[in-house]
Structure formats: structure tokens, C-alpha cells
């Protein structure tokens, strides 16, 4: 049966869930999103992705600054008489008064396998920390941050070359599908106290072992330290896509696609990267690629260009194995890959990435 739903969401990640609920025939009595923010060049005041879509659909939209401090807004939302609240990446904690309003409860679609990565950036941290799996959970909401029991959960394997944008698209679609699967069960459990409803659904508290928190990312998280291993840098690039950066000839360069030339990962790399991995594992690579000199992947300075592979990209020394840069965006230029990247950078063996930046040059 169709349910009366109050939807809470803000970024593009939540759009797939909003669309799924509408397409599933449910009645959206309102949409709550974060207030308009200044974004982009000129700092124009723009609505969130969810607000924009809700307006397109002709749905009532509410944009509280801080819902826990706005009793009048809370009362206005309660008057909508929703059967259930569905929350997907809203961006504010809901107070007890709001959680208690819908008779079938408040339910959250969260992009991780709880209790791992509670908090604001679960997709990014799953990639940065090299998790093999992530997923989506439909969770009964409590006042704590992502602490409620999970009704449904699906796992997704993380590929070595997946970036945050690609993984978010996959998890966003899965969240919408799981919500449609969960809502009939929530409806069948019926109204009542939170304790009564969860008992009918046979839900148990989250396991307290393995709890981790996905803290907000900072500008310092985005700057690449070439002393780190190739795998660590690659995970940073994929997890912060498209935000991880280094310095190239006193200009900022965002890295968009990399591959760690680690022998044990060869079967997960592209053919070009796999071939480079084998080549850089051989002692003879110094003479065949770098020419006479004193630099190779073991003795070169971290951040030094070891090889320019035509049509592919730049091989760069790290604190461990080399890293292949396949795509990047140089400050003031368009994103580029392969030969376009090589031509933009005009790179040669021995060039250095990552010279120290002054505090004024730190990314916003």
C-alpha cells in the first residue's frame, strides 16, 4: 500500500531514493532539506539537489536552519501527518521530538555496513581505508549518530579502481531499492512505541564491535604526501575524488585517476599499469627507462617522475612502489588523461611533484 512519507535529504546522493519513493506510488507529504547555500563561481545562492528536484515534482519543501532549535517548524512538519519519515543524507541530527512524530517511525538509508563508518562521509572513508566491502543499511533512527538497529542491509564489493563518485552512484541506487523493500515490512509492523515496533520487526541493537566514525574531511586530508605508499595515495585519490591534489611547478594539480604499481595487485590493474608494474619490478628498468643516472623506484625522491608512458600517463616515485597517474586537472586547465595530460604537464624523467606550498596556497 502507498504510505504518506516525509522525506529528509540534501545532496545528489539522496535523489535516487526520492525518485524511487515517488515512482513507487507513495505520497510524499513534504521534503525537508538544508537551506540554500552559496556555491560555485560568483557564490550564487543555490538550492540543494533534493530541494531542486522536489520543486520540480511540485512537492512542499521545508528548509530549517537547525531543526532541533525550531519548535514552530517541528509543529508544521507534525501537521503533515506522515505515516513515516525517511532520511537519506539530510545533514542534521533529528531531535527526539521529531523522531517521535510519525507513527511508523523514522528510517535512515545509510551508505555503509554499520556499525562501520557511522557519520558524515562513509563512502569516502571506506575507500581511503581500503575496505574490501561497503554497502547500504536501512536503519531505525535514534538520537545517536547512526546508532539504531538495521532492518535491511546489502553488501557491495569495492574495486581497486572505484572512485567515490562511482561508488556513491551505485550505493545511491541501492538505497532507493532497499527503501522500497523495507517500507512494506515497516508498515506491516504497525504503529506503537519504538520498542514495540522494533520487537515486531525482530530487530536487535547494532554490534558494538567494529564501530568506526567517518569524520568530516578537512583540507589537510586532500593534500598528497608523496612519502606515503602508492596504495595509500591511490586510495586517497579515489576516496576524495575529485579533490586530492599535489603541486606541479607551483600550480595545483588535482589527481583524478591513478593506479598503484604494486606487484600483488597486478590482476586488478589495467593492462598498461600491469605491464608497468612488471617493468618497475625489474632491476634493469633503470637503464631501459630512466637512462644512465642514479634514480629508480627504490632510490628516487618521493614525487619524482620516473617514466612518461606515451598514451598512458606519468609514473611517479612514492614512499614504496611507483604510482601511475592516468588523469589529472592542472590548475586553470581542463581535466586531461593520456597524451593530453603528458602534453599539459610537459613532464620529463626527473621532474618533481609536491613541492611544499605556503599556507596561503592551501585548498579551500
Dihedral of the alpha carbons of 68, 71, 76, 77, in degrees to the nearest 10 = 30
Q: What angle do CA 137, 138, 142 make, to 5 degrees?
A: 110
pTM here? 0.92
Residue 294 clears pLDDT 50, i.e. is over it = no
* CATH 3.10.25.10 in the chain, residue ranges: 219-361
CB 252 within 8 A of CB 245: yes
- How much is the mean pLDDT over the chain? 92
SS3 179: helix
What is the predicted pLDDT for the residue at 298? 56
Query: What's the rounded mean pLDDT across residues 331-352?
Result: 95
Topology (CATH) of 219-361: 3.10.25
What is the predicted pLDDT for the residue at 359? 40
C-alpha span between 239 and 162 (Å, rounded): 9
* CATH 3.40.50.170 in the chain, residue ranges: 4-214
Burial of residue 12 (number of CB atoms within 10 Å: 0-12, 13-18, 19+): middle
Please write the tens of the pLDDT for every residue from 83-138.
999 999 999 999 999 999 999 999 999 999 999 999 989 999 999 999 999 999 99
What is the predicted pLDDT for the residue at 356? 52
Architecture of the domain spanning 4-214: 3-Layer(aba) Sandwich (3.40)
Poorest-confidence range of 40-44, 122-126, 266-270?
40-44
What is the predicted pLDDT for the residue at 309? 97
C-alpha span between 29 and 80 (Å, rounded): 6
Residue 284 clears pLDDT 70, i.e. is over it = no
Q: Where are the alpha helices (DSSP H) in 28-104?
A: 49-56, 71-78, 96-99
Backbone angles phi, psi at 183, to 5 degrees: -60, -40
Backbone angles phi, psi at 207, to 5 degrees: -65, 130
Please write the tens of the pLDDT for every residue from 155-210.
999 999 999 999 999 999 999 999 999 999 999 999 999 999 999 999 989 998 99
Closest CA to 48 of 108, 6, 95, 89: 89
Q: What angle do CA 253, 254, 259 make, to 5 degrees?
A: 110
Residue 353 clears pLDDT 60, i.e. is over it = yes
Residue 81 clears pLDDT 60, i.e. is over it = yes
Amino acid at each position: 500500500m502507498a504510505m504518506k512519507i516525509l522525506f529528509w535529504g540534501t545532496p545528489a546522493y539522496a535523489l535516487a531514493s526520492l525518485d524511487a519513493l515517488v515512482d513507487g506510488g507513495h505520497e510524499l507529504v513534504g521534503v525537508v532539506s538544508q537551506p540554500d547555500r552559496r556555491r560555485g563561481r560568483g557564490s550564487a545562492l543555490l538550492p540543494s539537489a533534493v530541494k531542486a528536484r522536489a520543486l520540480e515534482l511540485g512537492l512542499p519543501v521545508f528548509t530549517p536552519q537547525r531543526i532541533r532549535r525550531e519548535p514552530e517548524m517541528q509543529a508544521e512538519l507534525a501537521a503533515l501527518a506522515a505515516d513515516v519519515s525517511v532520511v537519506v543524507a539530510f545533514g542534521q541530527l533529528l531531535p527526539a521530538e521529531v523522531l517521535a512524530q510519525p507513527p511508523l517511525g523514522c528510517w535512515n538509508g545509510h551508505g555503509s555496513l554499520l556499525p562501520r563508518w557511522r557519520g558524515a562521509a562513509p563512502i569516502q572513508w571506506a575507500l581511503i581505508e581500503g575496505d574490501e566491502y561497503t554497502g547500504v543499511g536501512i536503519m531505525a533512527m535514534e538520537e545517536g549518530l547512526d546508532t539504531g538497529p538495521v532492518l535491511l542491509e546489502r553488501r557491495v564489493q569495492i574495486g581497486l579502481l572505484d572512485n567515490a563518485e562511482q561508488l556513491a552512484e551505485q550505493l545511491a541506487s541501492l538505497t532507493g531499492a532497499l527503501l522500497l523493500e523495507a517500507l512494506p515490512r515497516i508498515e506491516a509492523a504497525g504503529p506503537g512505541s519504538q520498542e514495540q515496533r522494533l520487537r515486531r520487526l525482530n530487530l536487535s541493537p547494532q554490534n558494538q564491535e567494529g564501530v568506526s566514525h567517518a569524520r568530516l574531511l578537512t583540507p589537510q586530508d586532500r593534500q598528497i604526501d608523496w612519502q606515503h605508499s602508492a596504495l595509500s595515495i591511490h586510495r586517497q585519490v579515489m576516496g576524495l575524488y575529485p579533490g586530492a591534489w599535489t603541486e606541479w611547478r607551483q600550480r595545483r594539480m588535482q589527481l583524478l585517476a591513478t593506479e598503484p604499481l604494486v606487484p600483488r595487485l597486478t590482476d586488478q590493474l589495467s593492462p598498461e599499469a600491469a605491464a608497468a608494474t612488471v617493468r618497475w619490478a625489474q632491476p634493469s628498468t633503470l637503464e631501459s627507462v630512466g637512462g644512465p643516472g642514479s634514480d629508480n623506484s627504490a632510490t628516487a625522491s618521493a614525487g619524482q617522475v620516473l617514466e612518461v608512458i606515451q598514451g598512458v600517463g606519468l609514473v611517479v616515485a612514492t614512499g614504496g612502489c611507483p604510482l601511475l597517474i592516468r588523469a589529472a586537472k592542472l590548475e586553470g586547465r581542463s581535466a586531461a588523461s593520456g597524451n593530453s595530460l603528458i602534453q599539459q604537464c610537459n613532464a620529463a624523467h626527473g621532474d618533481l611533484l609536491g613541492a611544499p606550498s605556503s599556507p596561503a596556497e592551501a585548498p579551500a
